[in-house]
């Protein structure tokens, strides 16, 4: 039995990081833990929805790198949420470096099916450049400030050498492929443009081995299993926090007071903040009283937090190959290697790189997931469902040359207009470094202060040094901050440590 700790801990946000922090604290004997969550549900950016009868993920979809080192994989396995295939040693051993080798189909804006072999040289060059982009942070000295600038300049150089004997039409097509792959990367990184992703910091993100897998019953199964192991009543839903008053220097009483929108004031010895970076960017100046130290608020501004949305579309019949896993849509007028559009209203749809195919077909029927990042994605969120459906229908008809294709159903995410998130996930912006992530996770008051330690702690996806933007990253930060408190209370009273091991 763990010893019991009476310190009052308030966790803000009931996403995976908040829940995992609470889980760890409760198991370690903390009996005064409470989660305050703004919305009526738990899970945050883990959000399972329905398209007709079919289970689709509005938020997180994959376990990235499902292998022993990935805690999300280990928990999902323990709860019996994965398919046998995902559990095999072979599956865990595959190392794809973050980019799955999906079977692609390519369509062009003039309604042609393109041969994969014609596309391959551009894909290979792009993969090589992404790999090189991620190696600058260990080398020091970036030749360009952004990944976008670096890739464009290198493609120009290398195409002039390697593709000099290729005819103009093929060369132009390959440059259109680069535009398409830049848009893919915008989705992967949750960025408006790869011109906004810092080259020096790009390689901070680390991958784990394992072939990405999904939850056949929905990602929220992970949340409900974890929640079922927490004391009931621990989470207060529909309880937005307005302000965290910290550094209360009165001798008696608790150092932190959390003020809710409904007027309730909750006192605490420690607060763990897990709100998304998008929310912090918008509200950190009013969320903390006194305000955050400058180095912390600068890092909040420097780190990037952009939008990536999904548009699910269901069809009666497939218009792609039976083995196809991803569909790329190539605009033939985009040989300038662009990943954003000049005119949102008229051409936002050009930012959608294409679709992934939901598999297996026996479970999903013919459902595609369209991917769109950036300001174009944010603009899409403002349109009505019929408008989006209409634009997607026109797009598919144009690229397939088939004027009769009509989607049966549509469902899209709107992460930018979620007032508790303001976007999708974190990427290192231009000029970012490891220091920014270190600043993000640093507790308040900062080291060296004479006030009571560990008043405000920071968890959440945006505070992980190398797994930011993922579920496993978020989960690990929840455990990290719980452990910070657990070891604090172990060292405060060393005689209690031996008891806790009984
Ligand atoms: C479209 C999309 C696709 C993704 N795909 C994947 C994927 O395939 N694999 C993967 O690993 N990751 C993926 N991610 C990322 C992953 O979902 C997140 O990294 C992770 O879920 C973040 O967890 P978190 O606990 O840090 O934050 P969140 O889940 O956002 O939790 C924060 C909580 O804080 C609450 N909150 C905010 N403000 C307040 C306030 N003032 N008071 C009280 N509560 C507040 C919010 O309502 C929310 O519930 C995806 C994300 C998106 C958006
Ligand atoms: C880049 O490619 C090299 C050589 O193929 C490989 O050893 C290295 O691991 C790759 N780096 C990344 C970050 O994928
Ligand atoms: C916190 O309180 C201490 C002690 O009163 C004070 O010295 C310090 O400046 C305060 N910190 C902030 C950020 O207000």
Q: Which domain holds residue 162?
A: 104-206+308-412
* Three state DSSP letters for 209-221: CCCCEECCCCCHH
Element (H, E) at 63: strand 62-63
pLDDT at position 500: 41
Same domain, 397 and 321: yes
Same domain, 221 and 278: yes
Residue 349 maps to a domain: yes
- CA-wise closest residue to 284 among 440, 68, 57: 440
Q: How far, in Å, are 79, 223, 472 from residue 229 at the CA level?
A: 12, 10, 19
Cα–Cα distance measured from residue 475 to residue 458, given in angstroms and rounded to the nearest whole number: 12
pLDDT at 479 over 60: yes
Least confident of 126-140, 153-167, 417-431: 126-140
Residue 13 maps to a domain: yes
Same domain, 114 and 259: no
Q: Whose CA is nearest to atom 12 of ligand 1?
A: 470
Under a CB-based contact definition with an 8 Å cutoff, are residues 200 and 136 in contact?
yes
- Mutate which of 445, 448, 454 for ligand 3? The one with the most ligand atoms within 8 Å of its CB, which is 445
pLDDT at position 251: 66
Same domain, 395 and 271: no
Ligand 2 atom with minimal separation from the 132 CA: 1
**140 pLDDT band (50/70/90 cuts)?**
low
Q: What's the structural domain count of the chain?
A: 2
Residue 318 maps to a domain: yes
Ligand 2 atom with minimal separation from the 97 CA: 14
pLDDT at 494 over 80: no
Residue 282 maps to a domain: yes
Same domain, 313 and 407: yes
Which residue shows structure tokens 């300049």? 153
Counted residue by residue, the chain has a size of: 502
Residue 80 maps to a domain: no
Rounded to 5 degrees, what are φ and ψ at 315? -125, 155
Residue 498 maps to a domain: no
Where among 356, 384, 412 does a domain terminate? Answer: 412
Provide the pairing of β-strand 304-306 with 456-458: unpaired
Same domain, 109 and 187: yes
Sign, CA dihedral 84-88-94-98, equals: positive
Ligand 1 center–CA 144 separation, angstroms: 31
Residue 485 maps to a domain: yes
Least confident of 116-120, 215-219, 286-290, 357-361: 116-120
Query: In this structure, what token pair is assigned to residue 458?
Result: 């920071």
Same domain, 199 and 262: no
| Residue 22 three-state SS | helix
Same domain, 114 and 253: no
Name 414's Cβ contacts closer than 8 Å, sequence gap at least 6.
309, 381
Where among 412, 444, 472 does a domain terminate? Answer: 412
Under a CB-based contact definition with an 8 Å cutoff, are residues 456 and 274 in contact?
no
Residue 56 maps to a domain: no
Give buried/exposed letters for 134-153 (b at 16+ CB in 10 A, else e): bebbeeeebebbbbbbbbbe
> Quick check: CB of 172 below 6 Å from ligand 3?
no
> Quick check: CB of 382 below 6 Å from ligand 2?
no
Radius of gyration of the chain (CA): 24
- Mutate which of 47, 370, 425, 427 for ligand 1? The one with the most ligand atoms within 8 Å of its CB, which is 425
Average pLDDT, the chain: 95
Q: Is residue 239 exposed (0-12), middle (13-18) or buried (19+ Cβ within 10 Å)?
A: buried
CATH number at residue 228: 3.50.50.60
pLDDT at 209 over 90: yes
Same domain, 295 and 260: yes
Q: Is residue 469 exposed (0-12), middle (13-18) or buried (19+ Cβ within 10 Å)?
A: buried
Ligand 3 center–CA 458 separation, angstroms: 19
CATH number at residue 181: 3.90.660.10
> Quick check: CB of 97 below 6 Å from ligand 2?
yes
pLDDT at position 1: 43
Query: In this structure, what token pair is assigned to residue 129?
Result: 């450049």
Same domain, 439 and 312: no
Where among 412, 439, 465 does a domain terminate? Answer: 412
> Quick check: CB of 247 below 6 Å from ligand 3?
yes
Same domain, 290 and 339: no
- Mutate which of 244, 248, 249, 454 for ligand 3? The one with the most ligand atoms within 8 Å of its CB, which is 249
Same domain, 280 and 191: no
pLDDT at position 253: 80
């Amino acid at each position: 039995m763990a010893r019991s700790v009476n310190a009052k801990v308030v966790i803000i946000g009931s996403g995976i990081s908040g829940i995992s922090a609470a889980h760890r604290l409760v198991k370690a004997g903390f009996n005064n833990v409470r989660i305050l969550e703004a919305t009526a549900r738990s899970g945050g950016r883990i959000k399972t929805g329905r398209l007709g009868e079919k289970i689709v993920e509005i938020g997180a979809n994959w376990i990235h790198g499902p292998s022993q080192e990935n805690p999300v994989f280990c928990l999902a396995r323990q709860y019996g949420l994965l398919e046998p295939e995902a559990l095999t040693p072979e599956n865990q051993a595959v190392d794809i470096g973050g980019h799955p080798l999906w079977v692609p189909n390519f369509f062009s804006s003039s309604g042609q099916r393109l041969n994969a072999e014609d596309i391959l040289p551009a894909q290979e060059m792009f993969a090589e450049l992404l790999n090189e982009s991620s190696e600058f942070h260990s080398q020091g000295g970036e030749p360009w400030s952004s990944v976008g600038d670096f890739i464009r300049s290198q493609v120009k150089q290398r195409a002039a050498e390697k593709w000099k004997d290729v005819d103009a039409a093929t060369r132009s097509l390959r440059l259109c492929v680069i535009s398409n792959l830049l848009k893919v990367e915008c989705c992967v990184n949750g960025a408006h443009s790869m011109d906004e992703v810092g080259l020096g910091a790009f390689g901070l993100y680390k991958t784990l081995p394992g072939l990405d897998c999904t939850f056949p019953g929905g990602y929220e199964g992970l949340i409900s299993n974890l929640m079922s192991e927490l004391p009931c009543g621990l989470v207060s839903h529909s309880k937005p926090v307005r302000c965290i008053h910290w550094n209360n220097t009165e001798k008696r009483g608790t150092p932190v007071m959390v003020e809710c929108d409904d007027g309730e004031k909750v006192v605490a010895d420690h607060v763990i903040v897990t709100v998304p970076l998008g929310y912090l960017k918008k509200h950190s100046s009013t969320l903390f009283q006194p305000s955050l130290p400058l180095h912390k608020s600068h890092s909040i501004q420097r780190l990037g937090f952009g939008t990536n949305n999904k548009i699910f579309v269901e069809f009666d019949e497939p218009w792609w190959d039976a083995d196809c896993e991803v569909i790329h849509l190539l605009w033939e007028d985009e040989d300038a290697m662009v990943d954003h559009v000049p005119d949102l209203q008229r051409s936002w749809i050009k930012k959608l790189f294409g679709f992934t195919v939901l598999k297996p077909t026996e479970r999903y029927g013919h459902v595609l997931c369209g991917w769109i990042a950036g300001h174009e994605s944010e603009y899409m969120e403002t349109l009505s469902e019929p408008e989006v459906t209409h634009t997607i229908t026109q797009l598919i008809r144009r690229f397939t040359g088939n004027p009769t294709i009509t989607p049966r159903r549509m469902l899209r995410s709107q992460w930018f207009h979620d007032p508790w998130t303001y976007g999708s996930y974190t990427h290192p912006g231009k000029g970012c470094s490891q220091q920014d992530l270190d600043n993000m996770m640093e507790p308040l008051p900062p080291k060296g202060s004479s006030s009571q330690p560990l008043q405000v702690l920071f968890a959440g996806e945006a505070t992980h040094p190398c797994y930011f933007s993922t579920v496993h990253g978020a989960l690990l930060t929840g455990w990290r901050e719980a452990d910070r408190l657990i070891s604090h209370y172990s060292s405060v009273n060393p005689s209690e440590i031996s008891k806790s091991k009984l």
